[in-house]
Amino acid sequence: MRVRYPRFLKAQAASLTGSAVDFLVTIGLVEGLRVWPVAATMLGNVAGGITNFYLGRHLVFKVSHQQVASQSVRYALVWVGSLLLNGGGMYLLTSVAHANYLLSKVVVSLLVGFCFNYPLQLYFVFNNK
């Protein structure tokens, strides 16, 4: 995979923004409403995913000229995989390993973001070819 650094950096900034939304929702649900951390993670992931799709489409990959429906479907497929990986990772680290939920969320989010989300967004969701 050839990395184009300006786009990669923009993608990481968009991901960071989506992650900030994700974390704020997760923390608000766990600390404010006492929601189970795994469920809160998944709801936060929804909010962060919507944010990341918008930023990826318009600012990172700049493919807004393409049909939003086909990109949305492809993004949804990747997002479901991401949601399952994030939820599963959080379950393993918090419920099985009894790790702190915030530390677990950081570790899982970074792994899923770098190894799963970015490559699939680049080559599958927002591919111009």
Pair of tokens at residue 57: 């489409």
For residues 21 and 110, what is the distance between their CA atoms, to the nearest angstrom?
Answer: 15
- The answer to whether the pTM exceeds 0.85 is no
For residues 82 and 99, what is the distance between their CA atoms, to the nearest angstrom?
Answer: 20
pLDDT tens digits, 14-63: 988 998 998 899 999 999 999 998 899 889 988 998 999 999 888 888 87
